[in-house]
């Protein structure tokens, strides 16, 4: 085979502590030849950008399966349409909580490994997706903070993420959110690789064993620390972009955009591989 025709995989760093842009064409990505390199880079950089790759739904699902096992959505669908239009996505109201820092699948014993989003329709204003590297943020914590949070656990619940955008729900609405349940998670995820990452997000209600205000203070400190500029990347979407992030070590949020903007992203998920609790 002509060496010049061989698949090539290159990337460039976006920032030292987060983000890499993948410089590979669609056939190379769909072929899966560099799946292990992509997985390793994903853990290292947290976020991978595939600019204007223009995956259709079938190609996005195929690419996801080269990296592990595609996790189906509820109902068995492959693609979840990320939109605030309830006529398209019945769970659109819950997406309002995505305007605040979080990670996906915190209620699951084994959270999804990664999410992959492809841009289909842009909003005229807002709609960036922002990411924070929770691995790098933990590594850079002052030693006294690492000692302070070692062994601490927080309660996470959908109620708290929804209160961030609807602070005065009706009792009926509150009880519907509460029915989803709650879970206790460590503040520090000790991964099987030996690395550690912070476990944060707007789903965190309080820290077990701490005065409520002291717990909220610590959560606010850790969130501000983890989302400072050095650990963050804000992706401005172009139609056709695909962005992938490590859900086990990265926080994310969307910047606000009008509900009637038509903004549409298609998501696939990579099945989880490591338990959190």
Domain ranges of the chain: 3-270
| pLDDT for the residue 7 | 53
| pLDDT for the residue 90 | 83
d(CA 44, CA 1): 32
Q: Which two tokens stand for residue 110?
A: 């084994």
Q: Which two tokens stand for residue 235?
A: 């992706």
Cβ 106 vs Cβ 248: under 8 Å? no
Q: What is the DSSP string of 108-168?
A: SSS--SEEEEEEEE--SS---EEEEEHHHHHHHS-HHHHHHHTT-EEEEEHHHHHHTT-SS
Cβ 107 vs Cβ 78: under 8 Å? no
| pLDDT for the residue 8 | 67
**pTM of the shown model:** 0.93
d(CA 158, CA 203): 6
| pLDDT for the residue 9 | 77
Q: Which residue has the tokens 């924070």?
A: 132
d(CA 34, CA 53): 16
Q: Which two tokens stand for residue 119?
A: 């841009």
Pairing of strands 264-270, 80-82: antiparallel
| pLDDT for the residue 216 | 96
| pLDDT for the residue 75 | 83
Pairing of strands 20-23, 47-50: parallel
* pLDDT in 10s for each residue of the chain, 277 residues: 344 445 567 999 999 999 999 999 999 999 999 999 999 999 999 999 999 999 999 999 999 999 999 999 888 899 999 999 988 988 888 888 899 999 999 999 999 999 999 999 999 999 999 999 999 999 999 999 999 999 999 999 999 999 999 999 999 999 999 999 999 999 999 999 999 999 999 999 999 999 999 999 999 999 999 999 999 999 999 999 999 999 999 999 999 999 999 999 999 999 999 999 8
d(CA 55, CA 239): 10
| pLDDT for the residue 271 | 96
| pLDDT for the residue 1 | 37
The CATH number of the domain covering residues in 3-270: 3.60.130.10
* 3-state helix/strand/coil string of 204-263: EEEECCCCHHHHHHHHHHHHHHHCCHHHEEEECCCCCCEEEEECCCEEEEECCCCCCCCC
| pLDDT for the residue 76 | 87
């Amino acid at each position: 085979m002509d060496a010049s025709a061989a698949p090539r995989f290159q990337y460039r760093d976006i920032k030292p502590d987060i983000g890499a842009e993948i410089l590979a064409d669609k056939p190379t990505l769909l072929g899966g030849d560099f799946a292990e390199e992509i997985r390793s880079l994903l853990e290292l950089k947290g976020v991978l950008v595939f600019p204007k790759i223009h995956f259709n739904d079938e190609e996005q699902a195929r690419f996801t399966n080269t990296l592990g096992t595609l996790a189906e959505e509820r109902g068995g669908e492959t693609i979840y349409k990320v939109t605030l239009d309830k006529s398209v996505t019945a769970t659109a109201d819950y997406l309002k909580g995505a305007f605040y820092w979080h990670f996906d699948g915190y209620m699951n014993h084994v959270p999804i490994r990664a999410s992959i989003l492809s841009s289909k329709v842009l909003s005229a204003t807002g709609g960036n997706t922002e990411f924070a590297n929770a691995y790098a943020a933990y590594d850079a914590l002052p030693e006294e903070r690492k000692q302070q949070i070692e062994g601490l656990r927080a309660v996470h619940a959908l109620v708290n993420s929804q209160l961030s955008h609807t602070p005065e729900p009706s009792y009926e609405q509150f009880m519907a959110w509460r029915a989803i349940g709650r879970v206790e998670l460590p503040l520090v995820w000790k991964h099987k690789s030996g690395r550690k990452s912070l476990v944060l997000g707007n789903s965190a209600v309080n820290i077990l064993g701490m005065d409520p205000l002291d717990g909220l203070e610590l959560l606010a400190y850790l969130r501000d620390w983890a989302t400072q500029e050095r650990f963050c990347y804000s992706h401005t979407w172009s139609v056709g972009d695909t962005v992938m992030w490590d859900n086990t070590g990265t926080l994310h949020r969307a910047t606000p955009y009008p509900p009637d903007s038509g903004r549409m992203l298609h998501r696939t998920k990579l099945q989880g591989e490591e338990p959190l609790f």
